[in-house]
């Protein structure tokens, strides 16, 4: 009953803030565009992977990157909310911590998914034609990723006191997650150490599944990817609710 | 219900500082209760514990019959709070802030709009309700905050320095509304303040706290009575302070720099005698005892630098010479 409405209200707040801070969306889309058109376009003029042009090959990886960055960075707003005392007003309201966490997660996922949708439109420019089912599959994969990564960001944000500290932790986390995900190179022929790190990185399975959905090539069977992604989401979401429960 | 709030040895320690020590207070339903004390006395810490934001290190408390440690969510549902630090959302409009708050507190849909209009009118923000809060002045934010605290008609309302930085008209307006809420809805109100006159005008009972402990607690009038009379300031270097003891009504004599401060019952009637003893004075000031004097009386300190604010100056005689 009222918990659903409370979650809606928490989400609404995040959504309104998002729509009013246009710079958030512009900056989060700018970098992926550079990767696709400059890096991808440049290397793509010379390189094919299998029989896929390099620019097309990294496009799913860059989609994942944009969701990865915006989702994890969403956690920093918890720190700002705390700094300007808005968090205190939310914590003193008769809402369970789980409710607050769910509201925040949905807010963060909405931000990320709006960016993902804009990025998906780029497929037309690249000459990729998505069927309805591959589009829906892509959305599902990106949502699962956003769910786990927003949770991750919120966990870190709720434990940190300063935005500077958050940014430091994040750069140690986000770049490895990105570079060791196979977003930029195929993962079937890697040296042992690299392939080990790549295989234990959950983001890898997001890239792999998305590549399957968008260009029809992949390393693992789709169901394996989806199981890993779902498991990752469940784990991070659970840890997130626990962390919020303890947050002071 | 008899007690809206009851604390039992409520204590909060931060590392080496004891912010609140063994607090035992009972506040009745419908009472307006004031916490008066200097900076760092522990007022905010006390309120934070009562609204479940901080956990006490020892002791406990009940708010609206719910234990703050065992049933924090029920406590939170039944209270409203206006924080000392502003906590409204800058990037939303005033109206949006109130709407979200109404949903968080489960204010029923049917009454929501009426309640919002009512509190907006109270604080005089209707015309600015659709502006972003970041375009508000400090006082307007404060008023929005107050509107938000009242929106869901809580049983107990905590106000941490509610009128800090407000202009006199708005302050009085808000005092009136606080009184109305307490009278008509039996709302219990706990407020902290630095303004003596605020505590005096508004509160049924006041607890003076200093260094985390209650020094004295009573109705403002009884507290002032305990001072033992009116306060007379004499600016003079000449007088022999001991001679004032001859007047029976003088209960306290104090010398401070070039001033003599007397506590005198019905000072107005004894001014002649006092001035005869003092001889030539540069300046005389008579006023009735204020909570400030109560504070000085019990702690030996002034609550803040400007003494006498809030006291009623009955008569000022300047450069007056008595034979
Ligand atoms: N989070 C904290 N960590 C450490 N010490 C704290 C903390 N919060 C408060 N204190 C200390 O506890 C004491 C009481 O602080 P509190 O904020 O309750 O005072 P106050 O009566 O509200 O003062 P003011 O009138 O300035 O608002 C102070 O000595 C303060 O330094
Ligand atoms: Mg305070």
Shared-domain flag, residues B163 and B69? yes
Q: How close is the nearest chain B Cα to the Cα of A102, in Å? A: 14
A17 contact residues in B (CB cutoff 8 A): 89, 91-92
So what's the pLDDT on residue B303? Answer: 62
Mean pLDDT score, B279-294: 84
- A84 and B87: CB-CB below 8 Å? yes
User: For residue range B298-314, what is the model confidence (pLDDT) as tens digits?
Assistant: 877 766 533 333 322 32
Above 50 in pLDDT, residue A22?
yes
Above 80 in pLDDT, residue A2?
no
So what's the pLDDT on residue B198? Answer: 87
Q: Give the C-alpha separation, B254 to B251, whole Å.
A: 10
Give the residue with greater pLDDT, B14 vs B273.
B14
Q: How close is the nearest chain B Cα to the Cα of A243, in Å? A: 16
So what's the pLDDT on residue B154? Answer: 93
Q: Indicate the residue of A16, A88, A96 with minimum beta-carbon distance to B73.
A: A96
Domain that includes residue A70, residue range: 2-246
Shared-domain flag, residues B202 and B244? no
Q: Give the C-alpha separation, A11 to A9, whole Å.
A: 5
Q: Give the C-alpha separation, B110 to B127, whole Å.
A: 23
Q: Give the C-alpha separation, A166 to A173, whole Å.
A: 11
Are B263 and B231 in contact by the 8 Å Cβ rule? The answer is yes
User: For residue range B49-80, what is the model confidence (pLDDT) as tens digits?
Assistant: 999 999 999 999 999 999 999 999 899 999 99
Residue nearest to atom 11 of ligand 1 (CA): B19
CATH number at residue B270: 3.30.70
Residue nearest to atom 4 of ligand 1 (CA): B14
| pLDDT tier for residue B318 given thresholds of 50, 70 and 90 | very low
Query: Which range among A43-52, B6-15, B132-141 shows the weakest confidence by mean pLDDT?
Result: A43-52
Shared-domain flag, residues B127 and B58? yes
Mean pLDDT score, A91-104: 94
Mean pLDDT score, A69-92: 92
Q: Which residues contact B271 (CB under 8 A, 6 or more apart)?
A: B232, B284, B286, B315
Shared-domain flag, residues B19 and B144? yes
Mean pLDDT score, B185-209: 90
Q: Indicate the residue of B89, B103, B104 with minimum beta-carbon distance to A86.
A: B89
Are B24 and B9 in contact by the 8 Å Cβ rule? The answer is yes
User: For residue range A108-126, what is the model confidence (pLDDT) as tens digits?
Assistant: 999 999 999 999 998 888 8
| DSSP assignments along B209-272, one per residue | EETTEEEEEE-HHHHHHHHTSEEEEEE-S---GGGGGGSTTEEEEEEETTEEEEEETTHHHHHH
| pLDDT tier for residue B295 given thresholds of 50, 70 and 90 | confident
Average pLDDT, chain A: 91
Mean pLDDT score, B43-49: 95
Shared-domain flag, residues B73 and B145? yes
Above 90 in pLDDT, residue A217?
no
Q: Give the C-alpha separation, B191 to B161, whole Å.
A: 7
So what's the pLDDT on residue B320? Answer: 31
Per the structure, the count of domains in chain A is 1
Domain that includes residue B254, residue range: 224-319
Give me the percent of chain A exceeding a pLDDT of 70: 99
Q: Which of B169, B190, B223 is the last residue of a domain?
A: B223
Nearest to B202 by CA among B291, B287, B316: B291
Q: Are strands B32-36 and B205-210 parallel, antiparallel or unpaired?
A: parallel
Give me the percent of chain B exceeding a pLDDT of 70: 92
So what's the pLDDT on residue B323? Answer: 29
Mean pLDDT score, B97-103: 96
The DSSP bridge partners found for residue B63 are B5, B66
Mean pLDDT score, B254-271: 82
Which of A92, A95, A246 to mutate to test binding with chain B, by most B CBs within 10 Å of its CB? A92
So what's the pLDDT on residue B193? Answer: 87
So what's the pLDDT on residue A89? Answer: 92
Q: Cα dist. B11→A195, A226, B55 in Å? A: 56, 52, 9
Shared-domain flag, residues B164 and B268? no
Q: Which of B206, B223, B240 is the last residue of a domain?
A: B223
Are A178 and A70 in contact by the 8 Å Cβ rule? The answer is no
Neighbours of A48 (CB within 10 A): 12
User: For residue range A121-140, what is the model confidence (pLDDT) as tens digits?
Assistant: 988 888 888 899 999 999 99
Mean pLDDT score, B210-219: 90
- A94 and B81: CB-CB below 8 Å? no
Shared-domain flag, residues B235 and B267? yes
The DSSP bridge partners found for residue B260 are B234, B255
Mean pLDDT score, B283-300: 83
Above 60 in pLDDT, residue A162?
yes
CATH number at residue B95: 3.40.50.300
Neighbours of B262 (CB within 10 A): 24
Give the residue with greater pLDDT, A122 vs A102.
A102
Q: Give the C-alpha separation, A89 to A81, whole Å.
A: 10
Shared-domain flag, residues B174 and B120? yes
Q: Indicate the residue of B77, B83, B87 with minimum beta-carbon distance to A94.
A: B77
So what's the pLDDT on residue B76? Answer: 94
Give me the percent of chain A exceeding a pLDDT of 90: 65
So what's the pLDDT on residue B317? Answer: 32
- Report pTM: 0.86
Substitution site in B44, B164, B211 for ligand 1 pocket (most atoms within 8 Å of beta carbon): B44
Mean pLDDT score, B129-157: 92
Shared-domain flag, residues B299 and B218? no
So what's the pLDDT on residue B158? Answer: 95
Per the structure, the count of domains in chain B is 2
So what's the pLDDT on residue B304? Answer: 53
**Cα B37 to ligand 2 centre (Å):** 9
So what's the pLDDT on residue A178? Answer: 93
So what's the pLDDT on residue A108? Answer: 96
Q: Which of B223, B238, B262 is the last residue of a domain?
A: B223
ipTM above 0.85, yes or no: yes
Shared-domain flag, residues B249 and B267? yes
Shared-domain flag, residues B183 and B273? no
Shared-domain flag, residues B42 and B77? yes
Are B177 and B149 in contact by the 8 Å Cβ rule? The answer is no
So what's the pLDDT on residue A196? Answer: 92
Average pLDDT, chain B: 85
């Amino acid at each position: 009953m009222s918990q659903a409405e409370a979650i809606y209200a928490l989400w609404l707040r995040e959504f309104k803030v998002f729509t009013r801070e246009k710079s958030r969306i512009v900056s989060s889309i700018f970098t992926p565009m550079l990767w696709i058109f400059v890096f991808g376009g440049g290397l793509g003029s010379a390189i094919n992977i299998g029989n896929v042009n390099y620019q097309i090959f990294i496009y799913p990886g860059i989609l994942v990157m944009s969701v990865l960055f915006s989702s994890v960075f969403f956690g920093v707003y918890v720190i700002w909310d705390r700094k300007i005392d808005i968090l205190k007003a939310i914590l003193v309201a008769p809402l369970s911590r789980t409710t607050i966490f769910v509201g925040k997660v949905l807010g963060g996922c909405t931000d990320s998914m709006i960016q993902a949708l804009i990025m998906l439109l780029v497929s037309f420019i690249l000459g990729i034609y998505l069927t309805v089912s591959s589009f829906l599959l892509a959305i599902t994969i990106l949502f699962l990723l956003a769910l786990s990564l927003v949770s991750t960001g919120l966990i870190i944000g709720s434990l940190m006191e300063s935005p500077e500290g958050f940014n430091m932790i994040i750069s140690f986390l986000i770049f490895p997650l990105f570079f060791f995900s196979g977003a930029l190179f195929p993962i079937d022929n890697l040296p042992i150490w690299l392939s080990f790190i790549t295989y234990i990185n959950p983001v890898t399975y997001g890239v792999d599944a998305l590549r399957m959905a968008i260009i029809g090539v992949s390393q693992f069977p789709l169901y394996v990817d989806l199981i890993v992604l779902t498991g990752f989401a469940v784990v991070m979401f659970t840890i997130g609710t626990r962390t919020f429960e303890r947050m002071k | 219900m008899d007690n809206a709030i009851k604390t039992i040895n409520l204590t909060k320690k931060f590392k080496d500082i004891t912010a609140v020590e063994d607090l035992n207070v009972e506040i009745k339903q419908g009472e307006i209760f004031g916490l008066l004390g200097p900076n760092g006395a522990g007022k905010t810490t006390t309120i934070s514990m009562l609204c479940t934001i901080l956990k006490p290190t020892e002791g406990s408390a009940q708010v609206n019959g719910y234990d703050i440690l065992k049933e924090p969510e029920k406590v939170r549902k039944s209270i409203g709070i206006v924080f000392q630090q502003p906590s409204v959302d800058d990037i939303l409009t005033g109206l949006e802030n109130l709407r979200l708050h109404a949903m968080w507190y489960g204010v029923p849909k049917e009454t929501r709009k009426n309640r919002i209009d009512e509190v907006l009118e109270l604080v005089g923000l209707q015309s600015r309700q659709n502006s972003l809060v970041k375009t508000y002045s400090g006082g307007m934010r404060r008023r929005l905050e107050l509107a938000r605290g009242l929106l869901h008609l809580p049983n107990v309302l905590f106000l941490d320095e509610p009128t800090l930085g407000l202009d006199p008209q708005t302050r009085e307006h808000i005092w009136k509304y606080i009184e109305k809420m307490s009278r008509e809805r039996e709302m219990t109100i706990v407020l902290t303040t630095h303004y003596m006159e605020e505590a005096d005008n508004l509160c049924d009972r006041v607890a003076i706290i200093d260094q985390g402990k209650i020094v004295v607690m009573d109705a403002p009038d009884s507290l002032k009575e305990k001072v033992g009379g009116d306060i007379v300031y004499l600016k003079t270097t000449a007088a022999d302070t001991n001679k004032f003891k001859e007047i029976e009504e003088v209960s306290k004599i104090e010398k401070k720099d070039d001033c003599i401060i007397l506590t005198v019952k019905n000072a107005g009637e004894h001014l002649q005698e006092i001035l005869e003893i003092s001889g030539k004075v540069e300046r005389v000031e008579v006023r009735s005892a204020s909570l400030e004097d109560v504070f000085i009386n019990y702690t030996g300190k002034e609550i803040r630098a400007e003494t006498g604010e809030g006291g009623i100056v009955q008569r000022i005689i300047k450069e007056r010479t008595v034979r």
